[in-house]
A and B are shown apart, each in its own frame.
Chain A
C-alpha cells in the first residue's frame, strides 16, 4: 500500500504579472518504508515539490493544485489546524543548509525541547530532556550538544542535530531536502550510512531530494527524475540506471564521471532550463533533446507507465519510433 500518493500536482508562483510554473502535473506514489530519491538540476522544482507536501509554500505568492494523499488523508484539503497536528509527528523534514536549521542565539537543547512541547505539551521537562538526549544517541552525538549553540558545532554535527530533530516523533515520512549537500564526501557517506540504518530500525519512509545521482544510486530504492517542474522518469533505481529511457536521464547519467573505466571527458548538456513562466507547447525538454522530432515541439508527451511502476514522459520512449538512444 502506498503511504504517499501525489496526483497531478501543480505549483504556480505568482510574481507580479508573471506566473511561474514550478511544478507541472507531477504524479507518483511512494510505498510504505520505501526510499525515493528526487534528482534534477537547480530550478527543476524538486524543493518546491517538497515544500508543497509540507505545505510550507508562501500562501500569498503561490497556488497549488492537485491531490496529495498521505496515509489515506488528503493533505491539501486539510485545515491549518488539522495539518498542524500532522506536522513533525507524521511528516518531518531535514532541510538544506542545516548550519542554519536552528536559531543561532538559543541553545540547541532548549530549542529541541520547545519543539517537543509543541506536540506533547504535558510531558515533564525531565522526560522531554531524556527524549532529546536519546535522539542525540541515535545519531551519534555527545550529550554536551544539548547545552551548546549552533555556531559551536561543525557542519556534520549540525546535520546530525537536524536529523535527530526530524526523528523526534518517529514520523512516517521524512523528506530530506539536499540534506547532505554541504558536507564533505566522507562525512556525507557516514551520515548516509546512519540514515539508512535508522530507516530500517524506525521503519521510516524517506523522500530524498538531491542533485547528486550517485547518492540516489547508493541510498534509494526508487528514483524520480525532474526537469523544469516535470517528472520525466520514475522507477526503481536498478531499472533506471541500468537502462534509462528518457533522453534527459541518459544525459544526466552520462554527465557523472565513471569511477572505474577510462577517464573520458564528462558529457555536458547544451542549453539551459526553459523559462518556466512560458512553458513550451510541446515537451519541456525538446529544445535540448538530441533526439527531438517535429512532434516533440508541438505536442506535449503523455506519461506512460510500464513494469515495476516505471513511468516515462516521452513521445519516443522505448524506441517506439525506431530511435536509438
Chain B
C-alpha cells in the first residue's frame, strides 16, 4: 500500500506538471498578452510596453519563461497577478471557498439523491416510478447547465421571487453570525439546485444499471436458494457490489464539476473561481491563469487519489502492491 501511494502521488505530480505545461503553451499561443491590455487601447506608449514586458520577463524565450515559473512555483510562490498586482495566492484564496462550497455540495447531493433514486428504480424495475425517473434523467442529462440556471432564475427568482438572482451574500444587509449563514444558504440554493440537477442523472443511471446487473448475478441465486431474505441480500451483498461504479463516477464528476462550474457561476454571479478564471483569460493574466489551473489540477489529482484508496478499501480484487 505504501509503495502504491508513493507511486500514485508521483504520477499525480507528473500529471499536474504536464497539465501545467499544456496550459502554459496554450495561453501563450493565444493572441494578445497582458502588457498590451495594461498599456490600454487608445494611445499605448511603446516605452511602457517595453519596460513592462521586461519587468514580467515576457521578452525571454517561452521555455525559459516556463522554467522560471516552475522555479518560483517550487519555492511556493505563485507570483503576482499582472493585471491587479495582488498575489495570486490571495486572489485564489478569496474565491476558492465559494467554488468548493458549490461544487462539492452539488456533487455530494447528486451522489446521494441520484444513487438513492437509482437503487429504488432498480428494485422497482419497469414500474411507473422507474419509467418516469428514467425519462426525466435523460432530459436533465441533455440540458446545458447555463440554460437550466437561467430558467431557474426566471422561474424562482424573477417570477416567484423566492430566491435572489445573483451573488452569494446580500451586500446591503451586512449580516453576521448565523444570519449570514442563512443568507449564504438562501443565495446558494438556485446555483446548487442547478449543479445538482445536472449531475443527478449520471448517478441515477449508473446506480440503477449496476443494481440491476448485480441482482442478476449468480451469487444472488445462491443466497436466494439458501433462504436468505431479499432485504438482507440487498443490504449485505447487492449494495456493496453495486456501489463500486458510483465511487469511480464520483471522482470523475467532481473533477468535471470543478472545471466546468465556471458557466454556472457566471450565470448566478457566484463569486467563485469561475469568474476569476474568465477574467484572467480575457486579460491574458498569465500568472493568475496558471495559478488557477494549478489549483484545479491539484484538487483533481487529490480527488482521484482518494477515489483510488476508497476503491481499494471496498473491492478486494483491486490490490495495490
Q: Residues of A at under 8 Å CB distance from B? A: 54, 56, 84-89, 92-93, 95-97, 100-107, 111, 114-115, 118-119, 149, 151, 162, 165
Contacts and interface: CB of A to CB of B under 8 A. Distances in A.
Interface in B219-245: 219, 221-229, 232, 236-237, 240-241, 244
Interface of B: 217-219, 221-229, 232, 236-237, 240-241, 244, 314-317
B227 A106 contact: no
Given A103-B241, A105-B317, A106-B237, A115 B218 contact: no
Contact of A114 (B225, B236, B240): B236
Given A87-B227, A118-B228, A102 B219 contact: yes
A123 to B, nearest CB: 16
B219 A115 contact: no
A104 B244 CA distance: 12
Given A114-B236, A119-B227, A149 B241 contact: no
Given A115-B226, A118-B227, A95 B221 contact: yes
Nearest to B223: A115
A56 B224 contact: yes
B317 A92 contact: no
Given A56-B225, A95-B222, A100-B219, 15 more contacts: A54-B225, A85-B227, A86-B227, A87-B225, A88-B225, A92-B226, A93-B225, A101-B222, A103-B219, A103-B240, A104-B315, A105-B241, A105-B244, A105-B314, A165-B222
Nearest to A151: B317
17 contacts: A56-B221, A56-B225, A84-B227, A86-B227, A88-B227, A100-B218, A101-B222, A105-B240, A105-B244, A105-B314, A105-B315, A106-B237, A114-B228, A114-B236, A118-B226, A149-B316, A162-B222
B229 to A, nearest CB: 8
A101 B236 contact: no
Given A88-B226, A149-B316, A151-B317, A104 B221 contact: no
| Interface hub of A89, A102, A104 (most chain B Cβ within 10 A) | A104
A115 B228 CA distance: 7
A84 B225 CA distance: 9
Nearest to B217: A100
Contacts of A151: 316-317
Nearest to B218: A100
Contacts of A97: 218
Nearest to A149: B316
A102 B223 CA distance: 8
B222 A104 contact: no
Across the A-B interface, the 7 shortest Cβ-Cβ residue pairs: A87-B227, A100-B218, A88-B226, A84-B227, A149-B316, A115-B226, A103-B237
Nearest to A83: B227
B148 to A, nearest CB: 37
Contacts of B237: 103, 106, 111
Contacts of A86: 227
Contacts of B224: 56
Contacts of A114: 228, 236
A104 B316 CA distance: 8
Nearest to A51: B221
Contacts of A165: 222, 226
Given A84-B227, A88-B226, A101 B317 contact: no
B225 A101 contact: no
Contacts of A88: 225-227
Contacts of B316: 104-105, 107, 149, 151
Given A85-B227, A88-B227, A106 B240 contact: yes
Contacts of B232: 118
Given A95-B218, A97-B218, A114-B236, A104 B317 contact: yes
A102 B222 contact: yes
Nearest to B222: A101
A115 B218 CA distance: 15
Contacts of B241: 103-105
Contacts of A115: 223, 226, 228
Nearest to A88: B226
B232 to A, nearest CB: 8
A86 B222 CA distance: 15
B172 to A, nearest CB: 55
B310 to A, nearest CB: 13
